[in-house]
Amino acid sequence: MANETVDDIEGEQLRQLIERIERLEEEKSVLAEHVREVYAEAKSGGFDPKIIRKVIRLRKMDPRDIDEEETLIQVYMQALGME
C-alpha cells in the first residue's frame, strides 16, 4: 500500500470512505454528548455515575467472566489484608 502511486489510488472511492468516517466520527461525538447528559441526569437524581458505569460494564460481560473477576478481586484483597 505504501508503494502505491497517485495513479493507483481510486480517488473517488477514497473520498467517499473518508467522508463516511468523518460522518461517523461526528455521530459518535453527538452520541457521547448525549451519554454525558444522561450521566449528569443520573448524578442529579442522586445516583453515582461511577457505579452506573461499572454496572453497565458488568452487564456486557459473560456471567462466568464476572464470577472470575469477583473471585480474583476477593483473592487480591485477602492477599493485601483488606478483608
Residues 6+ apart with CB under 8 A from 74: 83
* Type of residue found at 81: G
Extract the C-alpha cell encoding 65: 467472566
Q: So where are the chain's domains?
A: 1-47, 48-83
What pLDDT does 1 receive? 57
What pLDDT does 9 receive? 74
- Average confidence score pLDDT of the chain: 93
What pLDDT does 4 receive? 64
